[in-house]
């Protein structure tokens, strides 16, 4: 039984300075998406980077191996003896009681978080473009990075996912801008503020604001307060690009006294006084693997842009509108070349290959197609279903949903899941892990969701049981979407293989 202190504050504050180039920086918990990306950036910048973790899996294990960053496992005080770091970067998943973290504190090693080190080492002296919002951050960040790269601006970036147009989720470019996904989740055990407060925003995209992260926020007002904080960090010469058709963003703006100008973007075409506005949408299928969405986006500088994209759903049109507004602003302020045209932007948009696990088509045979999507918040779940319906109105849609993250394990969204999942023709719900930290009367009930939806829904004790039920039900013409913020035990790939092998 560990006797290490749990929940105590650190005995001395985190460092605010970087060691000299060539120094060793040790990442405790290096296999997290953000941790691994910043570790890679520091290695490219000339530091010796090492790390430790436990239970390391792809894709981060593959990326770290490709970068030849040594990873020690399991956590141990001996890891610090081996690496002798000048600075320790601590993952936000770790808390007091971790044996290696405690050893670092006992030795009084300088320590920090990956958002703080990223902000100080890379963003402070560049044009920081920070993408925030409850939904769409990864796709919006990836799209903006891709377009900037295609038009010759060579941006640096950190993306919280796997962008298919780049070999890795990070890049240390030679251009002026640094684009980063701004997460409102907390920074570290010693810093309970959101990560995005460390990113020195010069251009700040605020895409939407809803309640989420119920493990650290009590209500949406607390989340709005954090967004107000990051908006106030934008300097007068910067810009806030705000989706004014989102009720949460509009409510937040009503409380905001910002030093930076606000670019209003009507992502649904509702706000008539917006600088950038989306027109009518149309959707069609281009085979089972691609949706084609078209619209017209009215801008201040580039006029009316005809948009045709394989990014499905009105949520992705919103992401595109925010990116266009940001690019137009960067150009008007001289941060990207004045010679760049709207035609170049449209061409770059057309070559965007999206992000891993955003309605990925895993395969299809005999008229049955299998997809997977990262959607887990009820709003995102509903938008994916709605978008698919618009492109494929005649297909029977089956949704398999796994409630896995900290918020979906709670019953706060139970009624919302009933409403959004109920948009599908058939719903199969996987097991919800029991989290003893959540009071019993606040825990998610998958049976209650299934009951609320009705006869078309069922709750399952295991993912394997769900898969067995699904295998017995799918028929020609069906589309099956697996939705999860986790792995769904890989059953989506098992179903795709089952169909490819022709077994019924």
Q: Which CATH number fits domain 24-112: 3.20.190.10, 3.10.20.90, 3.40.50.720, 3.40.50.12780?
A: 3.40.50.720
- What value does the CA radius of gyration of the chain take, rounded to a whole number of Å? 23
For CATH 3.40.1190.10, list the domain ranges present in the chain.
116-350
- Cα angle: 159, vertex 161, 164; to 5 degrees: 90
Q: By mean pLDDT, which of 195-204, 228-237, 351-360 is the weakest?
A: 351-360
Q: Do you find a cis peptide bond into 59, omega within 30 degrees of 0? A: yes
β partners of residue 368: 365
Q: What is the mean pLDDT of residues 334-344?
A: 94
pLDDT at 7: 63
Terminal-residue alpha carbon distance, the chain: 50
Q: By mean pLDDT, which of 125-139, 199-213, 347-361 is the weakest?
A: 347-361
**pLDDT above 80 for 503:** no
Q: How far is CA 214 from CA 138, 193, 436, 488, in A?
A: 20, 15, 15, 22
How many Cα atoms within 13 Å fall on the side-chain side of residue 354?
Answer: 19
Question: Residue 140 and residue 142: Cα distance in Å, rounded?
Answer: 5
The model's pLDDT over 218-245, given as tens digits with 9 standing for 90+, comes to: 999 999 999 999 999 999 999 999 999 9
Burial per residue of 408-417, b for 16 or more beta-carbon CB atoms within 10 angstroms, e otherwise: bbbbebbebb
Q: What is the mean pLDDT of residues 293-322?
A: 95
pLDDT at 101: 97
Q: What is the DSSP string of 470-483?
A: HHHH--TTEEEEEE
**pLDDT above 50 for 173:** yes
The model's pLDDT over 421-436, given as tens digits with 9 standing for 90+, comes to: 999 999 999 999 888 8
Helices 137-150 and 314-332, packing angle to 10 deg:
50
Question: Residue 331 and residue 148: Cα distance in Å, rounded?
Answer: 11
How many Cα atoms within 13 Å fall on the side-chain side of residue 201?
Answer: 29
Nearest alpha-carbon partner for 329 in 225, 207, 241, 439: 241
For CATH 3.40.50.720, list the domain ranges present in the chain.
24-112
- The pair of structure tokens assigned to 176 is 């002026």
pLDDT at 2: 40
Q: Write the DSSP symbol of residue 8.
A: P
| Stronger pLDDT, 109 or 357, i.e. the higher one | 109
Question: Residue 355 and residue 352: Cα distance in Å, rounded?
Answer: 9
pLDDT at 161: 86
pLDDT at 1: 32
Question: Residue 434 and residue 461: Cα distance in Å, rounded?
Answer: 12
For CATH 3.90.190.20, list the domain ranges present in the chain.
360-500
Strands 170-171 and 156-158: antiparallel
Q: Dihedrals φ, ψ of 204, to 5°?
A: -125, 120
Topology (CATH) of 116-350: 3.40.1190
Q: What is the pTM of this model?
A: 0.94
Q: What is the mean pLDDT of residues 42-57?
A: 94
5 pLDDT band, cuts 50/70/90, is low
The model's pLDDT over 436-466, given as tens digits with 9 standing for 90+, comes to: 888 999 999 999 999 999 999 999 999 999 9
Nearest alpha-carbon partner for 38 in 101, 91, 75: 91
The model's pLDDT over 81-116, given as tens digits with 9 standing for 90+, comes to: 999 999 999 999 999 999 999 999 999 999 999 999
- Cα angle: 249, vertex 255, 258; to 5 degrees: 90
Question: Residue 385 and residue 478: Cα distance in Å, rounded?
Answer: 14
**pLDDT above 50 for 504:** no
Cβ atoms within 10 Å, residue 504: 10
CATH 3.90.190.20 holds for 360-500 = yes
Nearest alpha-carbon partner for 491 in 450, 462, 457: 462
Q: How far is CA 52 from CA 44, 64, 454, in A?
A: 19, 11, 47
């Amino acid at each position: 039984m560990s006797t290490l202190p749990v929940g105590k504050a650190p005995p001395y504050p985190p460092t605010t300075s970087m060691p000299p180039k060539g120094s060793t920086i040790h990442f405790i918990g290096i296999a997290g998406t953000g941790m691994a990306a910043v570790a890679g950036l520091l290695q490219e910048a000339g530091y010796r980077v090492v790390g430790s973790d436990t239970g390391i899996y792809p894709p981060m294990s593959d990326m770290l191996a490709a970068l030849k960053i040594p990873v020690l496992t399991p956590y141990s005080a001996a890891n610090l003896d081996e690496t002798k770091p000048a600075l320790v970067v601590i993952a936000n998943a770790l808390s007091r009681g971790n044996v290696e973290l405690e050893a670092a504190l006992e030795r009084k090693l300088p320590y920090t978080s990956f958002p703080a080190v990223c902000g100080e080492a890379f963003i402070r002296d560049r044009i920081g473009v920070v993408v925030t919002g409850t939904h769409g951050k990864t796709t919006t960040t990836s799209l903006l990075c891709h377009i900037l790269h295609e038009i010759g601006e060579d941006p640096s970036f950190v993306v919280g996912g796997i962008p298919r147009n780049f070999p890795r989720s990070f890049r240390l470019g030679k251009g002026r801008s640094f684009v980063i996904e701004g997460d409102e989740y907390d920074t570290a055990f010693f810093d309970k503020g959101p990560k995005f407060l460390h990113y020195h925003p010069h251009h700040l995209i605020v895409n939407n604001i809803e309640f989420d992260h119920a493990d650290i926020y009590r209500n949406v007002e607390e989340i709005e307060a954090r967004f107000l904080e990051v908006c106030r960090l934008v300097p007068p010469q910067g810009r806030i690009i705000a989706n004014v058709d989102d009720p949460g963003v509009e409510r937040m703006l009503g409380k905001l006294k910002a030093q930076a100008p606000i670019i209003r973007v009507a992502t649904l075409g509702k706000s008539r006084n917006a600088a950038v506005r989306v027109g009518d949408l149309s959707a069609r299928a281009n085979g089972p693997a691609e949706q084609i969405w078209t619209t017209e986006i009215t801008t201040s500088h580039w006029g009316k842009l005809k948009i045709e994209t394989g990014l499905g759903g009105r949520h992705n049109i919103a992401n595109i509108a925010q990116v266009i507004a940001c690019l137009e602003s960067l150009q008007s302020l001289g941060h990207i070349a004045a010679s760049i045209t709207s035609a170049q932007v449209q061409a770059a948009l057309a070559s965007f290959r999206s992000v891993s696990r955003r309605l990925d088509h895993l395969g299809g045979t005999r008229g049955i197609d299998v997809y997977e999507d990262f959607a887990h918040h009820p709003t995102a779940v509903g938008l994916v279903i709605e978008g698919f319906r618009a492109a494929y109105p005649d297909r029977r849609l089956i949704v398999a949903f796994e409630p896995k993250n900290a918020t979906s394990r709670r019953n706060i969204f139970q009624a919302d899941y009933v409403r959004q999942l109920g948009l599908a023709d058939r719903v199969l719900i996987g097991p919800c892990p029991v989290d003893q930290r959540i009071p019993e009367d606040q825990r998610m009930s998958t049976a209650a969701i299934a009951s609320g939806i009705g006869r078309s829904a069922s709750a399952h004790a295991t993912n394997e049981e769900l898969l067995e039920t699904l295998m017995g039900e799918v028929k020609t013409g069906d589309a099956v979407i697996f939705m999860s913020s986790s792995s769904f035990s890989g059953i989506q790939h098992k179903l795709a293989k089952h169909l490819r092998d022709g077994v019924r």
